[in-house]
Amino acid sequence: MGPAVLERALLDIAVPIAVLDGADPHLPVVWVNRAFEVTTGYDAAGARQHQRDPIPPGARNPDALLAVREAVRARRDVASTLSLRRADGSVYTCRIQLSPLLAADGTVEHWVAALQDLTDQLSHDAEQAALVEAERRERRSLGLVAQVSDLLMDVDDRTTPLHEIASLLRHALVGWAAFYVNDGGLRQADGVDANRPPSGKGRKHGVAARQVDEGGDRTPGPDAVQLLLDGAKERPVDLPLDGWFPRGSASSWLADHVTAHAVPNLTAASARAAVFPVSGRRRVLGLLVVLPRTGSGLDGLDQSARTVLELTARRVGLVIDNARLYDREHRLAETLQRAMLPQQADVEGLDVWTYYAPNSENVQVGGDWYDVLQISPDVVGVVIGDVVGHDVEAAAAMGQLRSVVRSYAYDITTPGPVLERVDQLVAGMRIPRSAGLVLSTLTRAEGAWRLEYSRAGHLPLLHVRDREVTELMRGGGPLIGFGGGGRSTESLALEPGDVLVYYTDGLIERRDRGLRDGIDALTEVVGGVTARDSAGIGEEILSRLADHPEDDVAVVVVRVPDPRDHLERGRSPRRRRWSLPSEPTSIGRARHAVVRTCHAWDMPNAANAELVVSELVANAVLHGFGHVSLQLYDTGDGLRIEVEDGNPAPPIATDGHPGRVGGFGIKIVERLADWGWRPSARGKLVWAKVRPGDLPPAAVRRPPGS
């Protein structure tokens, strides 16, 4: 193969090749092939003329150029990636393979440079890297949204702290983040607080620290934050943190608050905050405010980050809305249920204790009920019943039945005929739910009590005498509304110390235990009770059988007093409990319950205990949510009071909290008792142990909840 063939091969090969003069230290180009001319736009003369043109600073690779120079000095092959300039002025990256051509005496006559244009490869690599980065961002975004969803999963948990979600956003996405809620005015949010009223178009934002310069030519900017809160804007907005806004506006207050609380993250580049609406179903409930890590306002957020923040704000809004809606329905149902249950009055000559607890898995409403009627000075009526279902319809049916039974019981004191009349009326009323009940009357004659009762498809009463338990199975009949014929009335003469236990199936029935086994278990518990008063008996029954009820529970315990009771009072367990609705009337009920308990236990200083429980229950009603649990314990050296509600926030005294409304109640408690608090499964439990001694002069009575 001759030299001419080799020259044509080099000239026509698709690889760009240049021959450089090895005798010149600047290695000028002396020959190029056609591929080189196509790639660079230069022939040999043009390449030589522009060989030393400067490369833009961003495209320079000093380390690679230094490696090439060292290889040339050492007269050895070298491969390196460099940037070259084309004839049109563009810069491209190529891989250069440089090899020396030696003369007979060992000197380098020429250098051969073979070029590989990396433009397509780098573009492909960049595209692949961009795809990988986009996928990574999408995975990160999905993971972040999943974490937010996990934090918000338990809608019933009102302690879900929004600051945890804000902290998650700060850690993974933005420089700073915080949630604000609008309930008559903006405030920074700590958690999903269902006890707050629904958001409105509140403008109680206080006076802004930054005021409009009336003497200058600056005019206030638009109140974009208020437009978000009013629903006039749906998309997120930028909030200039150094802007000028109308006096007392939402934008002014928020800019001041963000500036004060985000100082470590605030830079000149982040002079604008991005504000996202936290929307419920029908209104804007609050705001999510963020400072991007780079850039300012919405411009500092890429599309992926904006999507995550918008989804987070939307999910938080729905959770807050659901929590508030659930809480409103919960309160409505509980208020309805409680309104239909009687306030137990003192019954002359009998010791009566009542208890009702709805199934917490339902909407705090159901069909179980009881009633205690003082029909006349010597006649007491006791009713317990159960309407099928756990909804408002069941409660409504229960309310109708209760009213009907009450009306007839005052007119006819014999239980059988009363239920016959109830059957007739219910058949005409078309009440949609079936129901069972027990109606009984206790009549006093010549100092002794006599029981008459009739059952309409309900569980038997338990009669206890000298720890021997008897099921009162007689006097039974079909469910209310299905009587058809006459209903019988059974009677029983009661003796001092006798106990009657009325109950619904929620007390004894479980998924793993049928009614018959449940009645046997209740009979065993009742037979072993050592208490000498109805409240003590009821407490022992509840502690053994009602720790984890699967249904509504209603219990009534009636005991005929025994003259020997005062001799054995110490045998009664020293514990009492009450479940109270979250409403002001519960304060008076709690005070009355504590005074009665102190007298029953022969405990002094009932006035101190009454004042302490009044303040604790008032705080639970005013500042908590959900029903209030009150428990009393005789510790041997004093009375311990425990009040539990659904708000996890700790009680706070007024001292050290300027502008706080209330807080005086805790100061009164401190004067009368040792007290403390702890978190509980439902929220918090506040306890107080009343100190012995007279009421301190400084502990004057204040209005409940002050």
pLDDT at res. 229 = 87
Task: Summarize pLDDT for 43-60 with one digit per residue, the tens.
Answer: 988 888 888 788 777 677
Domains of the chain: 3-117 (3.30.450.20), 136-330 (3.30.450.40), 344-567 (3.60.40.10), 574-706 (3.30.565.10)
pLDDT over 50 at 202, yes or no: no
pLDDT at res. 155 = 46
User: Residue 706: pLDDT band by 50, 70, 90 thresholds?
Assistant: very low
pLDDT over 80 at 367, yes or no: no
Give the predicted TM-score (pTM) of the model.
0.54
> For 327-349, what is the mean pLDDT?
67
pLDDT over 70 at 703, yes or no: no
pLDDT at res. 438 = 94
pLDDT at res. 194 = 42
At 329, the amino acid letter reads: E
Higher pLDDT, 364 or 291: 291
Task: Summarize pLDDT for 236-289 with one digit per residue, the tens.
Answer: 988 888 888 887 788 888 888 888 877 565 554 558 889 999 888 888 888 999
> Between the CA of residue 138 and those of 214, 300, 305, 308, 663, what are the distances in Å?
49, 18, 10, 10, 49
pLDDT at res. 223 = 83
Query: Residue 241's closest CA among 259, 267, 261, 222?
Result: 259
The region of weakest confidence among 151-160, 198-207, 241-250, 514-523 is 198-207
User: Residue 12: pLDDT band by 50, 70, 90 thresholds?
Assistant: confident
pLDDT over 90 at 147, yes or no: no
Mean pLDDT, the chain, integer: 79
Task: Summarize pLDDT for 634-679 with one digit per residue, the tens.
Answer: 877 788 899 998 888 888 765 544 444 445 678 888 888 888 888 8
pLDDT at res. 74 = 85
User: Residue 704: pLDDT band by 50, 70, 90 thresholds?
Assistant: very low
pLDDT at res. 201 = 43
> For 13-25, what is the mean pLDDT?
88
- Compute how many other C-beta atoms are within 10 angstroms of the C-beta atom of residue 286: 27
Q: How far apart are CA 545 and CA 357, in angstroms?
A: 13
pLDDT at res. 193 = 45
At 675, the amino acid letter reads: W
pLDDT over 50 at 565, yes or no: yes
pLDDT at res. 361 = 53
Q: What is the CA radius of gyration of the chain?
A: 42
> For 177-194, what is the mean pLDDT?
72
Which residue, chain included where needed, has tokens 């439902």?
682
pLDDT at res. 200 = 39
pLDDT at res. 197 = 39
pLDDT at res. 88 = 86
pLDDT at res. 335 = 65
DSSP 140: H
Q: How far apart are CA 424 and CA 384, in angstroms?
A: 20
What percent of the chain shows pLDDT beyond 70? 80
The region of weakest confidence among 26-35, 99-108, 217-226, 525-534 is 217-226
pLDDT at res. 205 = 53
pLDDT over 60 at 160, yes or no: no
pLDDT at res. 701 = 44
> For 546-550, what is the mean pLDDT?
61
φ/ψ of residue 322, rounded to 5: -65, -40
User: Residue 523: pLDDT band by 50, 70, 90 thresholds?
Assistant: very high
373 alpha carbon, distance to own chain's centre: 42
pLDDT at res. 360 = 52
Higher pLDDT, 413 or 214: 413
Outline where 507-630 has alpha helix (H): 515-527, 534-545, 585-600, 606-623
Edge-first strand listing for the sheet containing 490-494: 368-376, 379-387, 435-445, 448-456, 490-494
Beta strands in 457-547 (DSSP E): 461-465, 468-472, 490-494, 499-503
User: Residue 696: pLDDT band by 50, 70, 90 thresholds?
Assistant: low
pLDDT over 80 at 204, yes or no: no
pLDDT at res. 451 = 96
pLDDT at res. 699 = 45
> For 355-382, what is the mean pLDDT?
77
Higher pLDDT, 65 or 456: 456
φ/ψ of residue 78, rounded to 5: -150, 145
Task: Summarize pLDDT for 439-481 with one digit per residue, the tens.
Answer: 999 999 988 999 999 999 899 999 999 889 999 999 888 888 7
Q: Which tokens sit at 309? A: 């923040």
Query: In sequence order, which residues have a C-beta less than 8 Å from that of residue 72 and are 6 or more positions away?
Result: 27, 78, 98, 111
Higher pLDDT, 195 or 625: 625
Which residue, chain included where needed, has tokens 């900017």?
221
pLDDT at res. 218 = 54
Q: How far apart are CA 512 and CA 518, in angstroms?
A: 10
pLDDT at res. 219 = 61
Higher pLDDT, 78 or 204: 78
pLDDT at res. 196 = 43
pLDDT over 90 at 379, yes or no: yes
